[in-house]
Structure 1
Amino acid sequence: MSGKLIPVDPASVMVMRDVTPRITTLSVPFLRFGAIPIGGRATLVKLSSGSLAVFSPVALTEEVRAKVMAMGNDVRYIVAPDIEHHIFISEWKAEYPTAQLIGPAGLPEKRAELVGVDPKVNNDHFDHVFTPQNKHSLSITSEFDADFDYEFVDAHPNKELVFFFRPDRVLIEADLMFNLPATEQYSRASVQDKKNGPLARLFMSLQTTADAAKGQKRFLWHLVSRKNRTGFNESAKRIASWDFETVIPCHGDVIEGHGKQVFEKVFDWHLKK
């Protein structure tokens, strides 16, 4: 159940920050498997048209509503960037009913099975669903496409959608690359919540971009991409061709100014194959 993974009082621990004048991050504690503190993050983007898109939504607190209002209150796109980052989709859709839902293949079916089981999940219709067949032909809308490039990494087990916001040179992703520890996301959490057990410390050693990032490189090569390495490599190369300088991951700290270099380091083996 999703309630075991998210903060009881998200407003008390959320960190809201403007990464650029058009991009705001909403960072919160989040426990993977109910035990590993990897953090969670939503990204609010104001498009050139003035409308808003939210990626990987988190709890819609009063402070978040106020921020959305300050940014124009015109939420037109709600994006679930993979089959895991969807807990608050229904909450945002109920608040902004005209917004279009975007997600990867498999997510609508997964959510349908959770209706009536998980109180946070409603039977919401997805307007745009990425599949392996349409991944390079699917178009969202003219205003969305005017600002974003996107890649469906269907070779990833979580079916990752990665977005490049061209105006600010920012890459927005979910589980494709972690940047642990989740310092910002746990900066307002209690001391007890910040304690890491042996399993958490092991996971963090495999999901850091620090130094040579060998743990994460091995994790991606030997585990994540092993079933379809050719497809994974192709997606990595497409993303690396974009001219981004900042990376906003869902898990771990934002990488500002040198995000492209970090991405190329972590995916080095995939980019060379």
Structure 2
Amino acid sequence: MFTQRGERCWTYEEPLRFFGLEIGRIMSVMKLSSGGLFVQSPAELTPELKAQLDQLGEVRFVAATSKLHGHMYMEQYRAAYPNAELLAAPGLAARRTDLRFDHLLGDAPDPRWGTDIDQVAVAGHRWLTEIAFFHRPSRTVILGDMGYHIGDSSPLKTRLIARAFQIYKRISPPLEVRATIVNEETFRRSIQDILAWDFDRVIPGHGEIIDSDGKTAVANGYDWLV
């Protein structure tokens, strides 16, 4: 079920339908130097998935990427791992009042995971601020809705729509997200901060993972901005 993506980094992919389109979603798991696990965009915690997670280590942190992306199953992780901390992206605590969050994510990583993982708040959009992560040991950048990457493995209907929204074989947000950026300079600085990281792999929120030359892919996907 898990696929290893370099040193101490794994992904788990599951289907997701959005407005009738199969776009999939990707969960990332990183093992910290301390031995604990940092889970980004948690998937449904089935018994099989939990068993594999427990083999990797102790779940310590569970993070959503934004108030829209990666929070659907956080309550399952709270129940299964009572000592784990739930990390809220900007705006998520107001949306998920049923959950108690232990930490609000921003531009700077907490020292407890900062040795292994850096982060940037991608800001400047009208209603969405997203947290991008950089896992240093595996040289991997992890995105959410700011990083669609629909490829040939997607169904034909998804590929056709992705072409129209300029996210087919490109790491980029859909056109409607681009059209609702209200502070282009702030948004540009966020992407430039990501491009300053020394990464090779990119794990998008939806679509296909890029295992090599990911920095070039992000630069090309955001050529309309940077």
Do they fold alike, i.e. is TM over 0.5? yes
1:128 aligns with 2:103: yes
Unaligned ranges ≥5, structure 1: 1-14, 113-122, 187-193
1:235 corresponds to: 190
In the TM superposition, 1:18-167 aligns within 5 A as 18-33=4-19, 35-72=20-57, 74-85=58-69, 86-112=71-97, 123-130=98-105, 135-136=106-107, 138-140=108-110, 142-156=111-125, 157-167=127-137
* Structure with the bigger percentage of strand: 2
SS in 1 for 2:190: helix
| CA shift in 2, pair 1:103/1:254, >3 Å | same
Letter in 1 for 2:121: F
Q: Deviations over 1:41-97 (max 9, x none)?
A: 11111112211011001111222112112112x111000011112101111111111
* Structure with the bigger percentage of helix: 1
Deviation of 1:17 (Å): 1.4
The answer to whether the Cα contact below 8 Å between 1:29 and 1:39 also exists between their aligned partners in 2 is yes
Q: Distance in 1 between matches of 2:176 and 2:134?
A: 21
In the TM superposition, 1:250-265 aligns within 5 A as 250-265=205-220
Letter in 2 for 1:166: R
1:246 aligns with 2:204: no
Q: Distance in 1 between matches of 2:133 and 2:11?
A: 15
Q: How many residues align?
A: 223
Find 1:204's aligned residue among 144, 162, 170.
162
The answer to whether the Cα contact below 8 Å between 1:39 and 1:182 also exists between their aligned partners in 2 is no
- Superposition TM-score, scaled by structure 2 size: 0.89
The structure that has the greater radius of gyration is 1
1:174 aligns with 2:144: yes
Q: Distance in 2 between matches of 1:139 and 1:49?
A: 15
- Kindly report structure 1 stretches of 4+ aligned residues shifted beyond 4 Å: 215-218
Deviation of 1:139 (Å): 4.3
The answer to whether the Cα contact below 8 Å between 2:145 and 2:173 also exists between their aligned partners in 1 is no
Q: Deviations over 1:118-151 (max 9, x none)?
A: xxxxx22112213xxxx44x542x2301111100
- Superposition TM-score, scaled by structure 1 size: 0.75
Q: Distance in 2 between matches of 1:88 and 1:207?
A: 29
1:223 aligns with 2:179: yes
The answer to whether the Cα contact below 8 Å between 1:38 and 1:182 also exists between their aligned partners in 2 is no
Deviation of 1:203 (Å): 2.8
| CA shift in 2, pair 1:54/1:222, >3 Å | closer
The answer to whether the Cα contact below 8 Å between 2:146 and 2:173 also exists between their aligned partners in 1 is no
Q: Distance in 1 between matches of 2:17 and 2:132?
A: 22
| CA shift in 2, pair 1:221/1:105, >3 Å | closer
The answer to whether the Cα contact below 8 Å between 2:66 and 2:129 also exists between their aligned partners in 1 is yes
| CA shift in 2, pair 1:268/1:101, >3 Å | same
Letter in 1 for 2:61: Y
